[in-house]
C-alpha cells in the first residue's frame, strides 16, 4: 500500500536547563491520500509537537518523516497548518486574508479565493474585517487560507477548542464538507473524544509523556454520523476504555456524562 505520509521511529527530546525531557518516543504512523486522522491523548503528551514536526516547523528530532516519499526538512506549501487561534491579519479583509501574499488581481488567485469562500460558507463576508467576524467565522477564514495553495496534508491543532459547543458542532460539519469535496489528507489534534470519532477514519490514541501511540482505532461509521447513535456510542466506549484513568487525562466528555 502507498502512503502519502509516513513517520518512522520518531523521537523528540527537549533540552532544558533542568535536563533533557523526552516528548515523543518511537512514533510510527502512516496516512493514506485523502485520509482523515484524529489524535487524542493527555495534555503534554506531544500531540502538538508531533504536528509541528510533520509540518516541518520542528526539525530537531530523530527518525524519519516522509511526505509523498520526500523527507520533511522544513515548512512548505505542501503542508497547511491551522492553529487554535485564527491568527488573521486584522488590517486585511476576509478575501485578502485568504489570498495572503498573493494578489487578487491575478485571475487564477481571484477564482481560487472565490471558490474557498464558497467552500467555507462565507459568501457575503468577502469585504469584512476580522473584528466583524465571530470566532467560528474567523476560523473558517483560517481554514480557507490554509487550503489556498492546495496542500497535500492539512494539519489542525485543536482548531475548535476555544469555540462554544454549538459553533464547534457546526464547524465540524463544515470541515467534513471541505474534506469530502477536496479529499485533502487531514491530521487533527483534539481533546474531545466525540469530535475525534465524529471526524475521523482512524483515531490515534497517545500515551502520556513521553508521547507514544497506544492504539489506533478504525472508525468505520458512514457519514453523516449521529453522535447519539448506538454504534457511535459503542466506539466512544471503546476509546474511553483505552485509558486507565480518564479523569487524569483531561479529555473532554462532551456528552456531560
Grid cell at residue 138: 474567523
Question: Taking the C-alpha atoms of 48, 52, 55 and 60 in order, what is their torsion angle to the nearest 10 degrees?
Answer: -150
Q: What is the pLDDT of residue 255?
A: 46
pLDDT of residue 208: 87
Using pLDDT thresholds of 50, 70 and 90, give the confidence band for residue 256. very low
pLDDT at 253 over 70: no
pLDDT 10s digits, 77-127: 999 999 988 999 999 999 999 999 999 999 999 999 999 999 999 999 999
Distance of alpha carbon 94 from alpha carbon 147, whole angstroms: 14
- CA dist 222 and 77 (Å) reads 31
Element (H, E) at 213: strand 213-218
**Average pLDDT, stretch 230-247?**
80
Mean pLDDT, the chain, rounded, equals 91
Phi, psi (rounded to 5 degrees) for 220? -95, 15
Q: Is the pLDDT of residue 257 over 80?
A: no
Q: How confident is the model over 182-223, as pLDDT tens digits?
A: 899 999 999 999 999 999 999 999 998 889 999 999 999 999
pLDDT for position 19:
84
Contact (CB, 8 A) for 60 and 40: no
Domains of the chain: 5-36+52-191+198-211 (3.40.50.300)
- pLDDT category, 180, cuts 50, 70, 90? very high
Q: What pLDDT, on a 0 to 100 scale, did the predictor assign at position 244? A: 54
**What's the full length of the chain, in residues?**
257
CB count within 10 Å of CB 110 equals 15
Task: Please answer whether residues 197 and 236 qualify as being in contact, where contact means their C-beta atoms are separated by less than 8 angstroms.
Answer: yes
pLDDT digits over 28-69, tens only?
999 999 999 999 988 888 999 999 999 999 999 999 999 999
Radius of gyration of the chain (CA): 18
Residues 6+ apart with CB under 8 A from 174: 120, 121, 140
Question: For residue range 14-35, what is the model confidence (pLDDT) as tens digits?
Answer: 988 888 889 999 999 999 999 9
Q: Identify the CA nearest to 97 among candidates 106, 85, 87.
A: 87
What pLDDT does 249 receive?
45
Asked if residue 160 has pLDDT above 70, the reply is yes
75 within 8 A of 57, measured Cβ to Cβ? yes
- The helix or strand, by DSSP H or E, that contains position 186, with its residue range, turns out to be strand 185-189
Instruction: Supply the pLDDT for residue 141.
Output: 96
Asked whether the bond before 186 is cis by omega within 30 degrees of 0, the reply is no
Judge contact between 16 and 125, C-beta under 8 A: no
CA distance 126 to 101: 16
pLDDT of residue 243: 67
* pLDDT value of position 240: 87
Amino acid at each position: 500500500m502507498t502512503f502519502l505520509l509516513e513517520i518512522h521511529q520518531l523521537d523528540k527530546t527537549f533540552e532544558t536547563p533542568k535536563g533533557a525531557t523526552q516528548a515523543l518516543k518511537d512514533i510510527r504512523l502512516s496516512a493514506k491520500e485523502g485520509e482523515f486522522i484524529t489524535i487524542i491523548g493527555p495534555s503534554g503528551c506531544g500531540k502538538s509537537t508531533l504536528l509541528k514536526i510533520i509540518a516541518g516547523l520542528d526539525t530537531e528530532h530523530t527518525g524519519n518523516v516522509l511526505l509523498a516519499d520526500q523527507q520533511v526538512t522544513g515548512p512548505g506549501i505542501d503542508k497547511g497548518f491551522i492553529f487554535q487561534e485564527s491568527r488573521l491579519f486584522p488590517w486585511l479583509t476576509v478575501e485578502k486574508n485568504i489570498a495572503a501574499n498573493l494578489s487578487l488581481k491575478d485571475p487564477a488567485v481571484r477564482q481560487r479565493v472565490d471558490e474557498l469562500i464558497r467552500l467555507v460558507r462565507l459568501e457575503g463576508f468577502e469585504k469584512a474585517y476580522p473584528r466583524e467576524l465571530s470566532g467560528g467565522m474567523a476560523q473558517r477564514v483560517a481554514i480557507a487560507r490554509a487550503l489556498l495553495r492546495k496542500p497535500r496534508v492539512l494539519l489542525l491543532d485543536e482548531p475548535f477548542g476555544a469555540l462554544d459547543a454549538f459553533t464547534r458542532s457546526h464547524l465540524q460539519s463544515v470541515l467534513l464538507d471541505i474534506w469530502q469535496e477536496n479529499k485533502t489528507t487531514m491530521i487533527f489534534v483534539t481533546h474531545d473524544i466525540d469530535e475525534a470519532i465524529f471526524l475521523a477514519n482512524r483515531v490515534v490514541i497517545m500515551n502520556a509523556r513521553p508521547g507514544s501511540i497506544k492504539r489506533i482505532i478504525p472508525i468505520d461509521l458512514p457519514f453523516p454520523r449521529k453522535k447519539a447513535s448506538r454504534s457511535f456510542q459503542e466506539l466512544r466506549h471503546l476509546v474511553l476504555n483505552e485509558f486507565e484513568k480518564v479523569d487524569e487525562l483531561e479529555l473532554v466528555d462532551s456528552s456531560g456524562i
